[in-house]
Amino acid sequence: MSLRRIGRLFTPYRWQMALVTVLIAASSVVTVASPFLLRAIIDTALPDKNLRLLAVLVAGMIGIAAISSAFGVIQTWISTKVGQQVMHGLRTSVFAHLQRQSIAFFTRTRAGEVQSRITNDIGGMESVVTSTATSIASNLTTAVATAVAMVAMSWRLSLISLVVMPPAIYLSRKVARMRRAITTEQQRELANLNVSIEEGLSVNAIALAKTMGTGPSLIQRFTASSARLIDLELRSQLAGRWRMASMSIIFAAIPAVIYLAAGLPVTAGVMTIGTLVAFTTLQNNLFRPITGLLSTGVSVISSLALFARIFEYLDLPVDITDPAHPAKIDPGQVTGHVRLASVSFTYPGADRPAVTGIDLDVPAGSTLALVGETGSGKTTLAALIARLYDPTSGSVRIDGTDIRDMRLADLAAIVGVVSQETYLLHTTVRENLRYARPEATDAEIEDAARAAQIHDLIAGLPDGYDTMVGSRGHRFSGGEKQRIAIARTLLRNPRVLVLDEATSALDTETERAVQQAFDNLAQGRTTITIAHRLSTVRNADQIAVLDHGHIVEAGTHTSLIADNGRYADLAA
């Protein structure tokens, strides 16, 4: 992975970063002047007892410190703001890109893994993104300015100081590679920990654990994962610590060597005490940014593991997306004529097709029922009509337009789906319904609820439509959740309505009421119903019987019963 790609994250903020660099350079140059003032104090002002000069020099040192601090505050504010904006951009880019991924991606990826990439991985990069650029600029300009000042003061002593640079750079690179490998392991283990939380602390997971008695094993699994994180963190912090410690000892020993060199007979009297003190001060000012640069290099290289995980998600291809040249469609003018022509589909990694050679023609405003045993391909067809997947071959058309040529937003406005697996957000009933159409009025929300036979129940609650549904809708029964989901879909008033076992969780009486609502709403709307209960589809305009992905029979309820075939067996 190229560092250039990481650098491009900062491109929109290049002028802010340029200003920060100018401030850092100015601060470094100003700070370097302080040792020269110190030398003048020791060699001139104090021996000559020149109080006026001493006061000017001391004031200059205080002024330098004040200016440097002011520059530091400004550059920290700018760099932190830029870093946070880069983090914001990464988070939103990853979230938006994942929103565009097909259902296939989420069926093969653990939910905890996805959450870990967005939270742990991007969060782990925060210090690097926020401070790395300014740290490099600050330390580099300080080191360069200090080195120039040291050479100007004494080039011989400068050679002694700089001899430690090659081994320091070599050792820091080795440490960086060690920490990068450990960081990769850490993030993988953090993802496992997130998965344990996701799979162990949701409402459904808790209910399963309590009924299956698996709580202790889940705790043991979580504890083991957390313990591995302790070990990895220790390894990360101690990786190369002895190597870096030895460099610190060498850095500390250099001033002593210079003092020794200054006292040798060969060099005695060559430099003043003020020069010696000023030089060692400069030397300390050099080693500090050098150490900072080496540490920043270690952090950047080790953080490449985090960037690699984030860029891996950003580079995921989007299987189902808007066409390059979408058909111009007004969803309000669509009649809802659905046609499937030679449609076949195989799930990724599957060894046989889920559906094969499906031909169906559903005129606008008519009803189609898909029936068959579990695994026959009914739900797959519903997913293809909603374009959750694209057919392997063949086409799905609405009013003659291939749905792959439609904008996804247009298709979502045309096709509404109520599935057997109801998902409600952890918010109020009103907001769950308004999720389908944010601009919907309260009156429209209530009308949709009435149509789904759920208004009276909601209105009878203490908080009415402001009742919290709870995590995944556990405040309500299965039938109540499905009716809320039906109301949510009806609020959008789609021209094509796909009901995938939409009444499977309803009791007979409620099912009859909802079915009556569907019959009323189906007028002028194309309705495709998938059901095991044949009583709910006997009035459909046409019924298609699926078996192992093939249509084996098609007709009306009366004609299929008369044929005494597969449908008659299912109805028996």
Task: Note the pLDDT tens digit of each residue in 194-218.
Answer: 767 666 665 566 655 655 566 677 7
The better pLDDT of the pair 320, 258 is held by 320
What is the C-alpha to C-alpha distance for residues 195 and 199, in angstroms, rounded to an integer? 6
Tell me if residue 78 falls in helix, strand or coil.
helix
pLDDT at 261: 66
Q: Which pLDDT score is estimated for 286? A: 65
What is the residue extent of each domain of the chain?
A: 3-314, 331-571
Comparing 203-212, 304-313, 367-376, which segment has the lowest mean pLDDT?
203-212
Contact 422, 485 (CB under 8 A): yes
Asked whether the beta carbons of 489 and 440 are under 8 A apart, the reply is: no
Does pLDDT of 25 surpass 60?
yes
pLDDT score at 477: 77
The predicted structure's pLDDT at residue 363? 92
Separation of first and last alpha carbons in the chain:
63
Task: Please report, as a single letter, which amino acid is at residue 187.
Answer: Q
| Confidence at residue 206, expressed as pLDDT on a 0 to 100 scale | 60
pLDDT for 542: 92
Q: Note the Cα 64 to chain centre separation in Å.
A: 44
Same fold, 3-314 and 331-571: no
pLDDT range class, residue 9, cuts 50, 70, 90: confident
Burial of 64 (0-12, 13-18, 19+ CB in 10 A): middle
What share of the chain in percent tops pLDDT 90? Answer: 9
CATH of segment(s) 331-571: 3.40.50.300
Mean pLDDT across 110-125: 73
The pLDDT of residue 66 is above 80: yes
* Cα gap 416→489, rounded to integer Å: 6
pLDDT of 457 above 70:
yes
Joined together, the tokens standing for residue 532 give 């095991």
Q: Which of 389, 357, 414 is nearest to 544 (CA)?
A: 357
CATH fold of 3-314: ABC transporter transmembrane region fold (1.20.1560)
Sign of CA dihedral 430, 436, 438, 441: negative
Q: How many CB atoms lie within 10 A of CB 113?
A: 17
Query: Mean pLDDT of all residues in the chain?
Result: 78
pTM above threshold 0.85: no
